[in-house]
Structure 1
């Protein structure tokens, strides 16, 4: 499949453009160690890195948001993460070349993430990769977060484009649900975290890619 009439590409952040699992996992693991619990390997945290505090505290402590201590531990996790957001976080291999290729083709690009702007703003400001992003929409930039389509509509508004000429790329089922609801062609990034649900075919994305640069083959 190839997409026509595309004028911009929007991306999820964690697990799609950047591998932030090392810093997210370390922030949660620090909490375990501080409580006398054994450290867990990064591979335990990685599949749920896209779920932020909910995912990391779930792995570290088997804790859900309904737990009475969740809000308290979440803020401790946030402080830990803020102190090291870019320590080991890197763009996935091929992402920088992909962005350059999009720009050379005259396509705009942007970010739509459920990560709050408390973290998204400083993180994207600290990484040169995002200097050319035309829109950066966080999880609290609109009244709704994904899988609601409103963050994608907001990104399209900031680009001055109709949603249907924007492609949305993400590594979680909620990304595909949001993209489809916004009327955007959707691409599943199977190299990402996948939210612990690797059955990507069930997401009903329009296409899938196993590496960032593979997206270029869909935009001919």
Structure 2
């Protein structure tokens, strides 16, 4: 691996972990409370990167400007908090990548827009807190992605320049934040990806289809 590219920072949902089953489950539980039938999992999965806004949008066709959004969001988050570790797992193909980074002595960390309320217990339940050099949640800094502040704070905590870090994510905001922070940006094509413009239009430095490809990028950096 190149000495110039020394750390990898990951988005959480859709990049390191598959949290879609619990997020979709919480949304369908809330639909049931409102007397509505469950929606197929495939409807929810692409929108997981948009968090509660995405889940409420799919489940109730309600956006943030709707007066119903706030109460629905709060009820959804309460339900999600009670089940968020039930089905969520680290992506199986990501585990060998983390093992390789640890073995090679390259620090890695997490930068997510998920609030600390959810991030900390979730990361602990998956035993990632014992391995990640840093975990930055959506409320760790004054701004969340696509602002660069969370990524810059992560670089500071691992003791490296932003230019020595790669940021891997599955949402346009991840690419925007990474570029603004001066990091190399990588799209995880196994992630949730949304339903907007094709990922090729996001302007990332690289797109990888499998976690193993990241080691090749690091070796060529």
Range class of TM-score, shorter chain: over 0.9
Contact persistence 1:27–1:80 (CA under 8 A)? yes
- Deviation of 1:148 after TM superposition, in Å, equals 0.5
* SS, match of residue 83 in structure 2: coil
How many residues are matched?
219
2:18 corresponding residue in structure 1? 19
Deviation at 1:129, TM superposition (A): 3.3
2-structure distance, mates of 1:124, 1:54:
22
Cα distance change on mapping 1:119 and 1:165 into 2, 3 Å: same
Measure, in 2, the Cα distance between the counterparts of 1:31 and 1:193.
22
How big is the shift at 1:105?
1.5
Paired residues for 1:1-220 under 5 Å: 5-197=4-196, 199-220=198-219
Moved over 6 A (4+): none
Unpaired runs of at least 5, structure 1: none
Structure 2 runs not aligned, ≥5 long: none
Equivalent position SS for 2:105? coil
Report the TM-score, using the length of structure 1 for normalisation.
0.96
Q: Is contact 2:90–2:126 with CA below 8 Å preserved after alignment? A: no
Work out the CA distance in 2 between the residues paired with 1:45 and 1:136.
Answer: 26
- Taking the aligned partners of 2:2 and 2:27, their CA distance within structure 1 comes to 40
Partners of 1:3 and 1:218 within 8 A in 2: no
Q: Secondary structure at the match of 1:131?
A: coil
Q: Is the 8 A contact 2:8 2:166 kept in 1?
A: yes
Distance 1:79 1:57 in 2: 13
**Secondary structure of 2:168's match?**
strand
The 3 A distance-change label for structure 1 pair 32 and 66 is same
Equivalent residue of 2:110, what SS? strand
